Amino acid sequence: MILPVYLYGQPVLRQEAKAISQDFPDLKKLESDMYETMYNADGVGLAAPQVGLSIQMLVLDADVLKDDFPECKGFKRTMINPVFLERSAETVAMEEGCLSLPGIHEKVARPTKIRIKYMDADWIEHEEDVNGFAARVVQHECEHLTGHVFIDNISAIRRQLNKGKLNNILKGTARCSYRTKAVK
Ligand code: NI
């Protein structure tokens, strides 16, 4: 089932998401709905707050980016209660977008390598090193679980330059090819 994507301005995107336990109701159904919603919107990642749920869960599939970023080949993951174990001091700035901020693309500096621990939807624990653009996708999605969005990382000037677009998102008039839930 395709779920509406909550847009910038929705309070759930600003909440600190809660860790969940294995008995979270209909976890597998939620996982499959999140993948369906992400693919339908041509996204490579989707965090639970983006479908209105303030829980620590995200799905991502960056395989579509493999021609530009070989590290993304087959990189499809469901991450529940993710915890960063390491983040490299080395960072790189690259352009990002977000399904909750349609039409906005900005460069964000992030660590190039991470080590992360998480549960999958079968409740198996994983500990994994992730590099390059795949690490970027993971960090972008995990940021949603802390009540932040990627434009929180850009300069005041860059945010000012995007003000018109942000206002359109807030007003519910941003153009979008997928189902959304704006504030108004
Ligand atoms: Ni996002």
Give the β-pairing of 76-87 and 113-119: antiparallel
Single out the catalytic residue among 96, 106, 141, 143: 141
pTM here? 0.97
Written as six digits, the tokens of 182 are 């704006």
Token pair for residue 109? 């500096």
- 102 Cα: distance to centroid of ligand 1 (angstroms): 10
Query: How does DSSP classify residue 106?
Result: E
Dihedral in degrees, nearest 10, Cα atoms 141, 143, 144, 150 = -90
> Could you read off the pLDDT of 111-154 as tens digits, one per residue?
999 999 999 999 999 999 999 999 999 999 999 999 999 999 99
Q: Characterise 179 by phi-psi region: left (phi > 0), alpha (psi -120 to 50), beta (else).
A: beta
Residues with Cβ within 8 Å of residue 180, at least 6 apart in sequence: 4, 5, 6, 7, 102, 172
Q: Can 106 be counted among the known catalytic residues?
A: no
